[in-house]
Structure 1
């Protein structure tokens, strides 16, 4: 299986908290992330109505000159298995993978529509320290509703058939988010050869989106994966 060599520098540390500068060198670009403002936004109505806060790992507000901005919330993981009976994912070649699912919520608090574009390639990412280990990322199209948050794997089902069909395919998400609206979606990951405590999330550098994932104690990687752009 072809493995992407996007991430070349690995550091065995825990997942950095929001607001902290993250440096990672890749084969093509040096990434320096500076969060303009990182806050817990207690005014979000859905957080109050659906007990959202306990599932949120990072909650970051990127502010602009108008004083308004875009909030990106990344969840804690669920998973380890694709079914509640303990079934793990095994591909057609017999390889056994660790599975984890997250969700991300993007809220447009500006007065202008934004275009969200995310894509992960079919190639695997070599970002963890054990030899011959790799990561694959997916954007399942299932609708995530707030009543699913307490469910196994955040309510994501049909994983065996989905992963079988998409394990060697690119995956993408395109969405226009209007002012004062939001979009919430799943991110799923398969890890081969490395297990541990997973943390992950999107962060924004100007208009560019990056996905940072760690599996302690095996290090982390940062993956360029898309853009958030204001519509003209």
Structure 2
């Protein structure tokens, strides 16, 4: 029985570790090259309490954009203050300036100190601009913050619609920047 339990746990851990991406999108260019956007599953789902004692629920996601073209790309993420509504829950979306790294994938909240970040940024507009050289990758965090818990699971990620970046959290889409 010990061996069966061990094999089950080993198999389950390999399945979970192998599920790094919730979604993966390939966008071909006119030159036959492509841009790859990969979005993670959430971590978190815990509480954050601000300096005034107000409690929020949060999730941490990360996105990886790979430039498989021969030209540099400019990634501009610009979240409005009031963002997505997943009925009846409203989310504020934040994009920390700190970069996500592969070493943080297995860490709690993907290695992001959510409390320290939100203590500085809560209620402020969140944006990020980065340049991605040909053949290079950019990884970054997204924090989804809500005054209410959602029922069910949280899924989120970026997609391209033309040059517009659209962030979808569950079924709600938010225009959130550009990739050009």
TM-score category (smaller protein) = 0.7 to 0.9
Alignment equivalent of 1:72, drawn from 6, 12, 37 = 37
Secondary structure of the residue that 1:80 maps to in structure 2?
strand
Structure 2: runs of 5 or more not aligned:
1-15
Where do 4+ consecutive residues of structure 1 move more than 4 Å? none
> Relative to 1, partners in 2 of residues 1:61 and 1:126: Cα closer, same or farther, differing over 3 Å?
closer
Cα deviation, 1:195-227, whole Å, max 9, x if unaligned, reads 23100000001111100001xxxxx31000100
Alignment equivalent of 2:134, drawn from 173, 176, 179 = 179
CA shift for structure 1 position 95: 2.7
Cα deviation, 1:153-199, whole Å, max 9, x if unaligned, reads 11112x22321221111111111111111101111111222323100
Cα deviation, 1:20-77, whole Å, max 9, x if unaligned, reads xxxxxxxxxxxxxxxxxxxxxxxxxxxxxxx985210111100022221100000001
Tell me the C-alpha RMSD between the 2 structures: 1.7
> Relative to 1, partners in 2 of residues 1:144 and 1:177: Cα closer, same or farther, differing over 3 Å?
same
1:140 correspondence with 2:96:
yes
Could you tell me whether the CA contact under 8 Å between 1:128 and 1:194 is conserved in 2?
A: no
- Count of aligned residue pairs for this structure pair: 164
TM-score (norm 1): 0.66
Cα deviation, 1:122-162, whole Å, max 9, x if unaligned, reads x22351222xx3211111122322111111111112x2232
Alignment equivalent of 2:122, drawn from 160, 167, 170 = 167
Secondary structure of the residue that 1:163 maps to in structure 2?
helix
- The residue that corresponds to 1:221 in the other structure is 172
CA shift for structure 1 position 90: 1.6
Could you tell me whether the CA contact under 8 Å between 1:63 and 1:69 is conserved in 2?
A: yes
TM-score (norm 2): 0.84
Secondary structure of the residue that 2:58 maps to in structure 1?
strand
> Relative to 1, partners in 2 of residues 1:151 and 1:103: Cα closer, same or farther, differing over 3 Å?
same
